[in-house]
Amino acid sequence: MSCLIVMSQKELHRLERICEVRRGSLTVVRAAELLGLSRGQVHRLLRAYDQDGADGLRSKKRGRPSNRRHSEDFRNLALDLVREHYADFGPTLAAEKLLERHRISVSKETLRQWMMEAGIWVSRRERKKRVFQPRGRRDCFGELVQIDGSHHWWFEERGRKCALLVYIDDATGKLLHLRFAASENTFDYLHATKAYLQQWGKPIAFYSDKHGVFRSAHASLKDRTSGLTQFGRALYELNIDIICANTPQAKGRVERANQTLQDRLVKELRLRGIDTIEAANAYAPEFMADFNARFGKPARNPKDMHRPLADHENLDGAMCRKEVRKLSHSLTLRYDKVMFILDPTERATALAGKKMVVCDYPDGRLEITHDGVSLPYKTFDTLRSVHRADVVENKRLDDMLSIVAELQAGRQQQRSKSGPRRTGQTDHMFGIPGGSQRSGYQTRGAKPGRKTDFTKDPVVIARRRQALATRDAAE
């Protein structure tokens, strides 16, 4: 019985046929056909079975090292090179580099087994998945507010794809603010955060992902404010911190809320026939009240950590895009490809050569300030913009494609007005009315690919003379 356990499927198949031959239910010729062997080989198997039983049909090579195996010295050399140069390489790439740089040829599967036995490589099945331990809720309401944008087909086929900016309290799981926007951008986050702060006050901190709105990739270690984004700078002015999570699992509260919203909110919008961002924003407070009643939980500590705005804090002045520009001696500065000229007041004249702050508000207003004082200005000139490829984030790709489609649909295909004009043509891109090819770019005797000087064309000259003669006779 122990022999049968270690026999291969092929050997078990041979044993079954040999037993049938010995019982007389199968002939040697038929057994040879079924096994794909000659009659002599079948008789050899019968003798081995009669002498040693089922063990006689087992391969004599089992348990012995292969004659084609690599030597131990070769194996150790390959592993030493992998440890020294390719410790973090996979077996496939390591095998390629061994052949390319060291002239050592070994199959990737053999190298994979060697690396696994040596502990250099761990198979995909044996790799331990990263464990994310659950984090408890915060104790107080307003202590930590998670924010995120969910780009989704909120209106299904009834409207365009848009983003939903979600603000959810970590302690209670309650939705504190929802805002639909065309995309996840700085201005909409400023607008939504301003509405949140007006309703609830200042939380201790916002908890977000590493989106470019929240986190700059070029932060400075010397100056805390130099590496802030426009959104981060606005929160810094209001004494609100922002914390960026390293993984989506870390801010699971808002991520799970997004999944619930993509199910429930989409269906509620469908039942009410809402298909625009404006109508969805108007319905959002009603939905939040129902959502919080169903899924909200009481905080462990009843204290509200939201803080009121201080007297010196200007919410409207903080929630805008701010850029620093130097005022020229002619009292002009440039922002967003537009030139602005300040009114030549006594204060503006004294600030020539100094730095101004351009405040660009989400509602379209623009102010030029110095030390918090707004200076009057007028638009002097709109600069010509250079059309180059826009850098678009992945979450805004659908938005940009829809804008491009609208622009292409409204763009008129106009002929070039700088091309040559010829007498008698209704369209200078083609020949004369009637489709004659002689008034095109190529005429009789002209070489292909070259333009013809029509002032010297005898056909054109003859037509002009005839037209002049007709005019003179009429006069």
Domain boundaries, the chain: 2-57, 86-125, 140-304, 320-382, 421-461
* Lowest-confidence segment of 46-60, 239-253, 261-275, 414-428 by average pLDDT: 414-428
Q: At 149, give phi and psi (nearest 5°).
A: -115, 135
pLDDT band at 472 (very low <50, low <70, confident <90, very high): low
Structure tokens that stand for 262 in this block? 């993509």
pLDDT band at 468 (very low <50, low <70, confident <90, very high): low
pLDDT band at 81 (very low <50, low <70, confident <90, very high): very high
Rounded mean pLDDT, 89-107? 92
pLDDT single digits (tens) 344-399: 999 999 999 999 999 999 888 899 999 888 999 988 655 554 455 556 666 566 66
Rounded mean pLDDT, 81-103? 91
Write down the pLDDT at residue 414. Answer: 45
Q: Which fold has domain 140-304?
A: Nucleotidyltransferase; domain 5 (3.30.420)
pLDDT band at 65 (very low <50, low <70, confident <90, very high): confident
| pTM beyond cutoff 0.95 | no
The secondary structure element, H or E, covering residue 398 is helix 397-410
Tell me the pLDDT of the chain averaged across its residues: 81
| CA–CA gap between residue 353 and residue 326 (Å, rounded) | 6
| CA–CA gap between residue 316 and residue 190 (Å, rounded) | 10
Exposed/middle/buried for 398, CB within 10 Å: 0-12, 13-18, 19+?
middle
Is residue 248's pLDDT more than 60? yes
| CA–CA gap between residue 460 and residue 444 (Å, rounded) | 12
**Three-state secondary structure along 109-147?**
HHHHHHHHHHCCCCCCCCCCCCCCCCCCCCCEECCEEEE
Write down the pLDDT at residue 153. Answer: 95
